[in-house]
Amino acid sequence: MSQIPKPHGEILIDRIIPKNKKEQILESFSQTLVLQADDSIIKDIENIAKGVYSPLEGFLNQNDYLNVLKENRLQNDNVWTIPIVLDIDKNTSKKIMIGDTVSITDINNKPFAIMEIEDVYPYDKKKYSESVFGTNDASHPGVNKINQMNEIFIGGKISLIQEDKNNLSSYFTPPRETRKIFKERKWNTVVGFQTRNVPHLGHEGLQKAALNICDGLFINPVIGKKKSGDFKDEIIVDTYKELIKNYFQPNNVILGTLPTEMRYAGPKEAIHHAIMRKNFGCSHFIVGRDHAGVGNFYDPFAAHHIFNEFPDLEIKPLFFPEFFYCHKCITISNTNSCSHILENNIRFSGKLLRKFLSSGETPPNTLIRQEIFQIIKGHNSPFI
């Protein structure tokens, strides 16, 4: 029996304007107040419109925003931990009335979406950061971004006019389509894997362990704004294509990108990531050590513990022990299956891989597949 969950909030949202109505909307586009959105907001709009952020139909109004900060839920009681908000400056806010429709362009002034204004409200940056990130430390990249945002939020439903096209757009498959693919492949259980890194052997071992539990694996790397030192998007996609081609049963794995920015909100972002994978149709979700963490801001297993607070999430988290390469077992192992001293083995980490790459050294075969390393090596600058 299929364990594929219903979309979050029961309905998969579709806020894409039909082709037969686009021309009419574009004709009146410039007659409304026009807002220019950066890449992160553009991605949020697309994720709302295509159902990735279901049940959201637009940017949060004040009541939902405050409820998310206080209760980690929308007002309708659906679990929600990351505010999806659109900020404007005070001068612009004076030109907007509730009930207005505003137009949104991308950074190249290309018409992108329209928004029905339901709310205009100020917010407290300190409370936002404390609730979402658990800190007000400006060295946290999420806090730093909030500190640079405008003072006013606008809330309301959005409607997408044009899709954002780039060289990686073809790797994104919206939830409506992934659900069809899962059904066609007769996958009763699907495990989602979140990543912002190129794959090392620890990732591969974890993914293959998950395939012993589920029928299919949905590898879903984040494509979008990340912090300095993270791998570039195209390298992440290229290395995963190579890994799947050479080391997986292709009928059991799908690669699809997730266009969104990393917020580095640790445990709260882990819940957000799980909700998105639930909307794609995943029944299970791998939650890694220090999931969506940054620096030393979160306990390495905080993202595991937070799932206990949301028994109604309807996607099952998978927690695995730490994977490493054991020289004595001559294989990828973990703390549940190997008794050998961990310090004498290779502990997988993105940090260790970056260290090899930054120094110009070739990482060992026990850390990363050499086909993957050659792809990384082929780029003059693999990092953001």
**pLDDT tens readout for residues 169-198:** 899 999 999 999 999 999 999 999 999 889
Confidence check: pLDDT of 119 > 70? yes
Would you kindly state where each structural domain of the chain is located, as residue ranges? 19-160, 169-377
In the DSSP assignment, the letter for residue 379 is: S
252 is catalytic: no
User: What pLDDT is attached to residue 1?
Assistant: 79
User: What pLDDT is attached to residue 384?
Assistant: 67
146 with 58: CB under 8 angstroms? no
Confidence check: pLDDT of 22 > 80? yes
What 3-state DSSP class applies to 384? coil
- Interhelix angle 125-133/62-71, rounded to 10 degrees, is 40
Q: Which of these is catalytic: 15, 196, 277, 354? A: 196
Architecture of domain 19-160: Roll (3.10)
Compute the average pLDDT of residues 191-218. 95
Length, in residues, of the chain = 384
What 3-state DSSP class applies to 309? helix
User: What pLDDT is attached to residue 228?
Assistant: 74
Per-residue model confidence as pLDDT tens digits over 250-302 = 999 999 999 999 999 999 999 999 999 999 999 999 998 889 999 999 998 99
Omega prior to 55 cis, within 30 of 0: yes
195 is catalytic: yes
Omega prior to 364 cis, within 30 of 0: no
d(CA 56, CA 162): 19
Percent of the chain with pLDDT over 90: 79
41 with 115: CB under 8 angstroms? no
pTM: 0.95
Q: Which two tokens stand for residue 275?
A: 């909700």
Name beta bridge partners: 222. Answer: 258
User: What pLDDT is attached to residue 181?
Assistant: 98
User: What pLDDT is attached to residue 227?
Assistant: 73
In the DSSP assignment, the letter for residue 250 is: G
Q: Where are the alpha helices (DSSP H) in the chain?
A: 19-27, 39-49, 62-71, 90-93, 125-133, 141-148, 175-184, 201-211, 233-247, 267-280, 302-305, 350-359, 370-377
User: What pLDDT is attached to residue 256?
Assistant: 97
Lowest mean pLDDT among 39-43, 57-61, 331-335: 331-335
User: What pLDDT is attached to residue 230?
Assistant: 80
Give the chain's count of helices (H) and strands (E): 13, 16
Q: Which of the four pLDDT bands, split at 50, 70 and 90, describes residue 361?
A: confident
User: What pLDDT is attached to residue 165?
Assistant: 82
Q: Which of these is catalytic: 105, 197, 220, 257? A: 197
Q: Which of these is catalytic: 105, 195, 220, 260? A: 195
The number of C-alpha atoms within 13 Å of 8 and in the hemisphere containing its C-beta is: 30
Q: Which two tokens stand for residue 195?
A: 């990543």
Per-residue model confidence as pLDDT tens digits over 300-354 = 899 999 999 999 999 999 998 888 899 899 999 888 889 887 777 888 887 788 8
CATH number of 169-377: 3.40.50.620
132 with 285: CB under 8 angstroms? no
206 alpha carbon, distance to own chain's centre: 19
Bridge pairing between strands 101-105 and 216-223:
unpaired
Query: How many of the other CB atoms lie within 10 Å of CB of 200?
Result: 25
Q: Which two tokens stand for residue 97?
A: 């009335």
Confidence check: pLDDT of 28 > 90? no
Listed residue (239, 279, 306, 44) closest to 155, CA to CA: 44
Looking at 146-196, which runs of residues are DSSP E strands?
152-160, 190-195
Rounded to the nearest 5°, which phi and psi values hold at 169? -60, -35
Compute the average pLDDT of residues 200-215. 95
User: What pLDDT is attached to residue 282?
Assistant: 98
Compute the average pLDDT of residues 218-230. 85
Compute the average pLDDT of residues 69-77. 98
Judge whether 19-160 and 169-377 match in fold: no
Per-residue model confidence as pLDDT tens digits over 76-105 = 999 999 999 999 999 999 999 999 999 999
Residue 254 is inside which H or E element, if any?
A: strand 253-255
196 is catalytic: yes
